[in-house]
Amino acid sequence: MLNNKKFRDPALIKKIVDDLNNWKKPIKIMEVCGSHTMAIGHWGIRKLLPPSIQLISGPGCPVCVTPSSLIDELIKLKGVTIATFGDLIRVPGKEETLEQARAKGLDIKLIYSPLEALKLAEKKQVVFVGIGFETTIPGIAQTIFLAAKQKQFNFSVFPAFKLVPPALDALLSTEDIELDGFLLPGHVSVIIGSESYDLLPEKFGIGGVVTGFEPLDILRAVKLLTNQISKDNPQIINEYNRVVDSSGNKIAKQIIEEILQVEDALWRGIGWIPDSGMGIKEKYAEFDAAKKYNITLKDEEGNTGCRCADVLKGKIIPPECPLFEKVCTPAHPIGPCMVSSEGSCAAYYKYER
């Protein structure tokens, strides 16, 4: 177990920063997780690194990658309460956001835990919007399990779950993106374990470091990546071993396995990625809002000029979008990357201007 005191030691930070500033070869490192994007902005880490080391943001926030057609479909639902995590209500659909629809009478309840949605179902029909990566999925799966146990048929979940390793696989397989390494998400990995990323070095020859959210975590991860790159020895390293282990949380994985199955998923700006999401198993079909209300998602992002797709793929940084700051701001988001506080564009707006 690492001693956490070290993670705030300015002398140590300076040592790593000085060391990294000797790095000459231009490299691109993608931070997959929106919380990392936030932490990197907050601690001013981009400015500490030499120009040769570029950190780019990836598809790291489930809110940002939620397709607009999901918002449109939710707005069409009649006679139900929509329960959702807060960030989603400001995501633009084709015509409007859930927040704007709420002003016109759509019944929306913001909640912190899926269990609150289940409780709400004691009084009315509730559709819970199941967005989230592997960190969030087990809690929602367990809530479906409890709904089945309580025979609470007022409750259903629309499964819009996303899985991180398949998305990285698809990103590297289909897009022409030059990447030299990954900063891998800390809290997704608590559930799935660091070994879930072994495909990155094995299939693509790119290494990654599972890391935490403190400045030294991130700087150490960058340093570990430069070490691998200079030795041409790509591998997955778990820097965050005070929290993450190699195999993840067994019980959480069992509950996911009981309720959900791997399916294709629609990522906003990226499109359908095979096996990168989860649907609800036939055994629990009564709790599947997609079946109950016959909802299917379409890949039809409107032509707003938003470059989120390229941001999520790491092709451009947010200020390279012509709308950034001029038209698109956190108060008036045009695209989803500006909505969630962890969205790449929102993080750049807050920290990197």
Partner 1 sequence: MCLAIPAQVVQKDGEKGYVNLGGARKEVMFTFTPEVEKGDWVLIHTGFALNVISEEDAEETLKLFDELGTIQDEMELENKNVEQ
Residue ranges in contact with partner 1 by CB under 8 A: 1-2, 4-5, 7-8, 10, 13-14, 17, 34-35, 42-44, 48, 61-63, 85, 87, 112-116, 131-133, 135-136, 138-140, 142, 185, 187-188, 190-191, 212-215, 242-243, 249, 251-252, 255, 340, 342
Query: Which partner in ligand SF4, partner 1, none is near 191 (CB below 5 to 8 A by kind)?
Result: partner 1
Identify each DSSP E strand in the chain by its residue range. Answer: 27-31, 53-57, 81-84, 108-110, 126-132, 155-161, 181-184, 207-210, 236-238, 260-267, 271-280
Cα separation, 229 vs 56, in Å, equals 17
Cα separation, 325 vs 216, in Å, equals 30
CB of 108 to ligand SF4, least distance (A): 21
Residues within window 309-348 making contact with ligand SF4, judged by CB under 6 A? 311, 318, 321, 323-324, 328, 334-335, 337-338, 342, 345
Residue 21 vs 230, nearer CB to partner 1: 21
* The only residue of 74, 307, 313, 351 in contact with ligand SF4, by rule CB under 6 A: 307
Query: Which partner in partner 1, ligand SF4, none is near 323 (CB below 5 to 8 A by kind)?
Result: ligand SF4
Cα separation, 160 vs 204, in Å, equals 27
Q: Does 83 bind ligand SF4 (CB under 6 A)?
A: no
Query: Which partner in ligand SF4, partner 1, none is near 328 (CB below 5 to 8 A by kind)?
Result: ligand SF4
Query: Which partner in ligand SF4, partner 1, none is near 318 (CB below 5 to 8 A by kind)?
Result: ligand SF4
Please tell me the number of Cα atoms within 13 Å of 150 on its side-chain side. 17
Cα separation, 209 vs 186, in Å, equals 9
Q: DSSP state, 203?
A: I
CB of 11 to ligand SF4, least distance (A): 29
Q: Are strands 81-84 and 108-110 parallel, antiparallel or unpaired?
A: parallel
Q: Which two tokens stand for residue 17?
A: 């920063």
Q: Are strands 236-238 and 271-280 parallel, antiparallel or unpaired?
A: unpaired
CB of 318 to ligand SF4, least distance (A): 5
Q: Does 183 bind ligand SF4 (CB under 6 A)?
A: no
Residue 127 vs 311, nearer CB to ligand SF4: 311
* The only residue of 306, 317, 350, 351 in contact with ligand SF4, by rule CB under 6 A: 306
* The only residue of 188, 200, 216, 297 in contact with ligand SF4, by rule CB under 6 A: 188
Q: Does 220 bind ligand SF4 (CB under 6 A)?
A: no
Cα separation, 268 vs 272, in Å, equals 9
Query: Which partner in partner 1, ligand SF4, none is near 8 (CB below 5 to 8 A by kind)?
Result: partner 1
Helices and strands: H and E segment counts in the chain: 15, 11
CB of 230 to partner 1, least distance (A): 25
Cβ–Cβ under 8 Å, residues 107 and 120? no
Query: Which partner in ligand SF4, partner 1, none is near 5 (CB below 5 to 8 A by kind)?
Result: partner 1
Please tell me the number of Cα atoms within 13 Å of 348 on its side-chain side. 20
CB of 277 to partner 1, least distance (A): 15
Q: Are strands 108-110 and 271-280 parallel, antiparallel or unpaired?
A: unpaired
Q: Give 336: exposed, middle or buried? Use CB within 10 Å, 0-12, 13-18, 19+.
A: buried
- What residues make contact with ligand SF4 under the rule CB under 6 A? 33-35, 60-62, 133, 135, 185, 187-188, 306-308, 311, 318, 321, 323-324, 328, 334-335, 337-338, 342, 345
